[in-house]
């Protein structure tokens, strides 16, 4: 059991499907982050308690996972932007939500910003600060576990961006 409350803990969620090639990059980044943070539980980054999770969901289900946290960092593949595969960005959800983060929006679910608004209107305690670390990818629709070379090469840079976001 974690001794720090969820409100004090930063939740880092790797999003994606690890069976769809580059779409699984969010999972790979949080796996590398866990290795950097070490085996201690709860993990900490400069004294900040950190909880790490991997999800293949978005919208309402992702919003439910964020309940109780003041800060969250989401790591996801970004498709359909002008960035070359492997480019890493770090920005607030309010900016990233307009980009094509593959699990922040879904044609079959509410976009994450709408889900957060609905949760807040129902009284849920949700993060005030949500940062999105995105890794640019080509569209991911092939079943394979391997990341493309440029996306795999971006994993260490994405881990550094998550660590920077944890420190801020």
What pLDDT is recorded for position 142? 83
The answer for residues whose C-beta is within 8 angstroms of residue 113's C-beta and 6 or more apart is: 93, 94, 97
The tens-digit pLDDT sequence of the chain (168 residues) is 344 566 689 999 999 999 999 999 999 999 999 999 886 656 777 678 899 999 999 899 999 999 999 999 999 999 877 889 999 999 999 887 555 555 565 555 788 998 999 999 999 999 999 999 999 998 877 899 999 999 999 999 999 999 999 988
What pTM value is reported for the model?
0.89
* Residue from 49, 48, 65 nearest 57 by CA: 65
- C-alpha dihedral (158, 159, 165, 168), degrees to nearest 10: -130
**Per-position DSSP letters for 99-118, written without gaps between them:** S-BTTT--TTS--HHHHHHH
Per-position b or e across 77-86, b if 16+ CB within 10 A of its CB: bbbeeebebb
| Ranges of each domain in the chain | 10-167
What pLDDT is recorded for position 3? 47
Residues found in the chain: 168
Q: Is the separation of the CB atoms in 13 and 55 below 8 Å?
A: yes
What pLDDT is recorded for position 168? 83
The answer for residues whose C-beta is within 8 angstroms of residue 33's C-beta and 6 or more apart is: 12, 52, 159, 162, 163
Q: What is the CATH number of domain 10-167?
A: 3.40.50.1450
Q: Is the separation of the CB atoms in 96 and 89 below 8 Å?
A: yes
């Amino acid at each position: 059991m974690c001794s720090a409350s969820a409100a004090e803990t930063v939740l880092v969620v790797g999003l994606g499907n690890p069976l769809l090639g580059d779409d699984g990059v969010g999972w790979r980044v949080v796996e590398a982050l866990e290795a950097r943070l070490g085996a201690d539980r709860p993990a900490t980054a400069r004294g900040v308690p950190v909880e790490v999770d991997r999800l293949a969901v978005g919208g309402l289900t992702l919003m439910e996972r964020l309940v109780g946290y003041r800060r969250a960092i989401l790591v996801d593949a970004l498709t359909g932007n002008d960035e070359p595969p492997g480019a890493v960005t770090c920005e607030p959800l309010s900016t990233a939500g307009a980009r094509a983060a593959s699990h922040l929006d879904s044609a079959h679910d509410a976009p994450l910003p709408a889900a957060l608004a609905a949760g807040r209107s129902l009284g849920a305690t949700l993060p005030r600060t949500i940062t999105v670390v995105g890794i640019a990818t080509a569209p991911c629709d092939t079943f394979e576990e391997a990341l493309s070379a440029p996306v795999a090469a971006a994993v260490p840079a994405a881990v550094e961006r998550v660590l920077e976001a944890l420190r801020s």
